[in-house]
């Protein structure tokens, strides 16, 4: 006699059904699939979501140009006390998250209203990304010191230093090309994680500057520019390929 709760698979094997596996059947399979197929489908889906999270996190971490942002942050807050610097770092982090979520959420609406195809926007975003990469490799031309009453957390740090035209385009493209709610939730979580890492950079900016020195930050910014140029080339090629097909 099979044990209570046992399920017979197509191969004749008996698998004990438990509260930890029974819920997989209605969520990830049809009524004709066995528990083994359910678990295989679930594992494949988890692996795909993990890959999407990691790829999105890495891409947006570099799109936010963390080392260039840190260099600008340190220059604009050089005469401020440490407590004021930390407060601005927190405000910049939350400002970037809000801006990214808004841009990510309106991608489809932007394309629909203006009649822009996703591939054309990929090409335009890639061109802007190349210009941003060139700026990072060449180095900044210099920053103006803010006035005592000026709030620099949103402008210029969040916009346009962190979320510039290229990052804006990338957010709109990603928001437009994802169709399922699960994928969008994973991407938003990955973007949040990338922004939080950048925020930690800003919060610990003084320690990082002492560790790698000013010249080290400039070198890291140039390396970020090289990575962004590769992302730009890939984005342009994807857009061109979409047009040709």
**Structure-block tokens of residue 236:** 């342009």
Assess whether pLDDT exceeds 60 at residue 199.
Answer: yes
Q: What is the pTM of this model?
A: 0.78
Ranges of each domain in the chain? 35-244
Collapsed DSSP state (helix, strand, coil) of residue 98:
helix
Does position 227 have pLDDT exceeding 60, yes or no? yes
pLDDT in tens, 40-59: 888 888 899 999 999 999 99
HSE (side-chain half, CA atoms, 13 Å) at 238: 19
Structure tokens that stand for 52 in this block: 């999407």
Measure Cα distances from 69 to 74, 91, 112, 190, 237 in Å: 9, 14, 33, 19, 28
User: What is residue 144's predicted lDDT score, i.e. its pLDDT?
Assistant: 53
Q: What is the pLDDT of residue 146?
A: 57
Is residue 132 within 8 Å of 223, Cβ to Cβ? no
Q: Are 126 and 59 in contact (CB under 8 A)?
A: no
């Amino acid at each position: 006699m099979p044990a209570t709760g046992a399920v017979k698979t197509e191969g004749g094997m008996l698998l004990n059904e438990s509260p930890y596996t029974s819920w997989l059947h209605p969520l990830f399979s049809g009524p004709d699939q066995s528990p083994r197929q359910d678990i295989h489908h679930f594992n494949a889906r988890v692996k795909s979501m993990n890959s999407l999270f990691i790829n999105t996190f890495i891409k947006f971490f570099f799109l936010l140009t963390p080392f260039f942002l840190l260099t600008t942050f340190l220059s604009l807050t050089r005469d401020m006390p440490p407590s004021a610097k930390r407060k601005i770092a927190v405000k910049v982090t939350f400002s970037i998250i809000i801006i990214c979520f808004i841009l990510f959420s309106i991608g489809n609406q932007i394309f629909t209203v203006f009649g822009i195809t996703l591939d054309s926007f990929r090409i335009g975003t890639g061109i802007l990304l190349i210009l941003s990469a060139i700026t990072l490799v060449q180095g900044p031309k210099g920053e103006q010191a803010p006035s005592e009453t000026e709030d620099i957390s949103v402008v210029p740090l969040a916009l346009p230093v962190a979320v510039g035209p290229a990052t804006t385009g990338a957010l709109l493209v990603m928001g437009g090309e994802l169709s399922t709610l699960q994928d969008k939730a994973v991407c938003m979580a990955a973007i949040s994680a990338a922004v939080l890492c950048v925020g930690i950079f800003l919060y610990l900016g003084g320690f990082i500057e002492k560790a790698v020195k000013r010249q080290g930050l400039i070198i890291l910014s140039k390396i970020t520019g090289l990575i962004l140029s590769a992302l730009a080339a890939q984005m342009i090629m994807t857009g061109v390929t979409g047009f040709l097909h």
